[in-house]
Amino acid sequence: MGLQGAKVLVTGAAGFIGYHTCQQLLAAGATVCGIDNFSPYYDVRLKEDRAARLLAQPGFALHRLSIQDMDAMRAVWTDFAPGIVIHLAAQPGVRYSIDHPREYIDTNVVGTFNLLELARHHPVEHLLISSTSSVYGANTDIPFDEGQAIQKPMSLYAATKGATELIGHSYSHLFGIPATYFRFFTVYGPWGRPDMAPFKFTDAIAAGRAIDVYNNGDMARDFTFVDDLVAAILGLAEAVPGKTRVAGDSLSPVAPFRAVNIGGGRQTRLLDFIAEIERALGKPAIKNMMPMQAGDVEVTEASNHLLRALIGRVPETPPSMGVPRFVAWYRDYYGDRLR
């Protein structure tokens, strides 16, 4: 298929991962139609600045609308006629979902349903939809493997993502929609979200404020640098279910559908990740050791054998390299705060 000249629709284009995805698509020669509703879940100025950088490049157009607005979505979809759709728009956040459940149902479930309906009536070559490692929930077998059950979510956020995978499979089976769901593992990097731990830690340490370290630091994550993640998404865009099959595939026996982990396949202790931020900033952290929070899990680690088999690579940037790049962006973007 190739991405040179491809027409790609990206939802959540002004978001953290969406921004980087659009950048790499444009660099690959694709024409990109971005959709974003500029939700105030976090500082909209950051989204506006990402969008401005994308709009300055040829081959990119942006539509400010919600994926819940079916009429507006249909108009953009049919006018642009994408060959590939990368659906990244979502209401994120594990803890936020405890107090704001309706936003997760409306955005993650209803919004994704709208895209599946559009793909049903206006077919595309490949529909790629973001999921999360959180769908593994209460699973204790590490690393998390695509074949594991996802029926024990620990948060509503995870439940909504798991639900869209199940709905997506039914649509692929019934209507022949080639669909790939990719499960992210703790993504970080430049232009990252202010509500995520890497940003919160960096911002607090830089300002001399204390950071909250949950489960007394006894946690580990498969941290994934954003450039690695997006390179994997673009690689998967060309691995169309039903046209490709590999050993150990998660390809459904009854649908052109697969789920794929995108992670490095290694654990980094939370305290070690914080230490990398301290080194990059040249400042020690003041740590408030806290108990485990509702909806959280102690350890995540991806099995990445399927990803490697499909695209020939897996995320490899270690925190020792990725964290300094994130902190360098933070210093540049928020420089006035540090003086």
Indicate if 333 belongs to the active site.
no
Alpha-carbon 231 to chain mean position? 12
Query: Which residues are CB-contacts of 85 (< 8 A; sequence separation ≥ 6)?
Result: 8, 9, 10, 11, 115, 119, 124, 126, 127, 128
d(Cα 115, Cα 251) in Å, to the nearest integer? Answer: 21
Distances (CA, A) of 322 to 88, 264, 327: 22, 13, 9
253 Cβ contact list (under 8 Å, min separation 6): none
Residues 303, 186: Cα–Cα separation, whole Å: 14
Active-site pick, 157, 171, 188, 330: 157
Q: Which residues are catalytic?
A: 157
